Amino acid sequence: MPYISGHYAPTADELTAHELTVHGTLPPELDGRYFRNGHNPKPGVTPTHWFRGAGMLHGIRLAGGRAEWYRNRWVKTPFLDGKPFTGTELDVSAAATNIIFHGGRYLALQEANLPWEVTDELDTVGVHDFGGKLTTSMTAHPKVDPLTGELHFFSYSPFPPYLIYYVADAGGEIIRATTIDGAGPSLMHDFAITREHAVFLHSPVVFDAEEHSGIPYRWHDDAPFRLGVLPRHGWAEITWFEVDNPGAILHVANSYVDERGRVVLECPRFDRAAWETSWKWWVGAPGYPPTPSTGTTMHRWILDPATGQVTEEALDDLVTEFPAINDDFTGERNRYSYAIGFPGAGLDGYHTVKFDTGTGQRQLFAHGHGRMPGEAVFVPAAGATREDDGYLLTIVSDISTDSSQLLVMDASDLAKPAIAAVDLPQRVPAGIHGHWIPELG
Contact 229, 263 (CB under 8 A): yes
- Dihedral sign for Cα 82, 88, 93, 99, please: negative
Q: Is 7 annotated as a binding residue?
A: no
Residue 80 belongs to what H/E stretch?
helix 78-81
- pLDDT tens-digit readout, 25-48: 999 999 999 999 999 999 999 999
Determine the pLDDT at residue 85.
Answer: 62
pLDDT at residue number 293: 82
Rg (CA), the chain: 20
Tell me what pLDDT residue 185 has. Answer: 97
Q: What is the DSSP annotation of 293-307? A: --S-EEEEEEEETTT
The CA-based angle 214-219-221, given to 5 degrees, is 155
What are the domain boundaries of the chain? 2-438
Beta-ladder partners of 298: 268
Query: What gap in Å lies between CA 419 and CA 364, rounded to an integer?
Result: 16
Residue type, 369: H
189: annotated binding-site residue?
Answer: yes
Please state whether the predicted TM-score (pTM) of the whole model is above 0.85: yes
Q: What is the CATH number of domain 2-438?
A: 2.130.10.10
Dihedral sign of CA atoms 322, 138, 35, 175 in order: positive
Neighbours of 161 (CB within 10 A): 13
Q: Answer positive or negative: Cα dihedral of 373, 375, 380, 385.
A: positive
The answer on whether 433 is annotated among ligand-binding residues is: yes
Q: What amino acid is encoded at 391 in this protein?
A: Y
Q: Where are the alpha helices (DSSP H) in 284-362?
A: none
Neighbours of 261 (CB within 10 A): 10
Instruction: Give the pLDDT of residue 87.
Output: 66
Q: How far is CA 265 from the centre of its chain?
A: 16
Cis amide leading into 286 (omega within 30): no
CA 13 to chain centre: 25
Q: Where are the alpha helices (DSSP H) in 190-342?
A: 272-283
Taking 70 as the pLDDT cut, the residues of the chain under it are 83-87, 441
| Residue 141 marked ligand-binding | yes
Amino acid at 217: Y
- Say how many CA atoms lie within 13 Å of 369 toward its Cβ: 2
d(CA 48, CA 82): 14
pLDDT of residue 353: 98
What one-letter code names the amino acid at 415? A
